[in-house]
Amino acid sequence: TQLLEQSPQFLSIQEGENLTVYCNSSSVFSSLQWYRQEPGEGPVLLVTVVTGGEVKKLKRLTFQFGDARKDSSLHITAAQPGDTGLYLCAGLDSNYQLIWGAGTKLIIKP
């Protein structure tokens, strides 16, 4: 059973547009990680957020951890075709195990 809900499941937009991906749960996590996975490869860590309300930026990507540490968002500004991939969030539970979301498949059309 997935305890982390990601939305949308699928998003296809034009190059240059902005988008936001959400990761929600009823559970509190001590930290939350965002990964990106490209076809035929394993997921690669983008960022870890730890503190409630924390915001981290990675070039055009902005990650935010909710104040209650139950949810997170990923905002991409001026999306580029190279941003295409499967975006996964994973929360660290009280047993120090990662709980994975089902992912958001993002396609950026040139």
Partner 1 sequence: GAGVSQSPRYKVAKRGQDVALRCDPISGHVSLFWYQQALGQGPEFLTYFQNEAQLDKSGLPSDRFFAERPEGSVSTLKIQRTQQEDSAVYLCASSLGTGAGYSNQPQHFGDGTRLSIL
Q: Contact positions toward partner 1, by CB under 8 A?
A: 2, 6, 30-31, 33, 40-45, 48, 50, 86, 88, 92, 96-98, 100-103, 105
* Shortest spacing between CB 74 and partner 1, in angstroms: 14
Question: What distance in Å separates the CA atoms of residue 52 and residue 78, rounded to the nearest whole number?
Answer: 26
Burial category of 87 from C-beta neighbours within 10 Å (exposed 0-12, middle 13-18, buried 19 and up) = buried
| Residue 59 DSSP one-character state | T
Beta bridge partners, 75, equal 20, 62
User: Measured from the CB atom, is 34 or 76 closer to partner 1?
Assistant: 34
* Residue number, 8 or 16, with CB nearest to partner 1: 8
Task: Report the nearest approach of partner 1 to the CB of residue 89 (Å).
Answer: 9
Residue number, 14 or 97, with CB nearest to partner 1: 97
DSSP character for 69?
Answer: S
Instruction: Say how far residue 37 (Cα) sits from the centre of its chain.
Output: 11
- Closest CB 9 distance from partner 1, rounded Å: 8
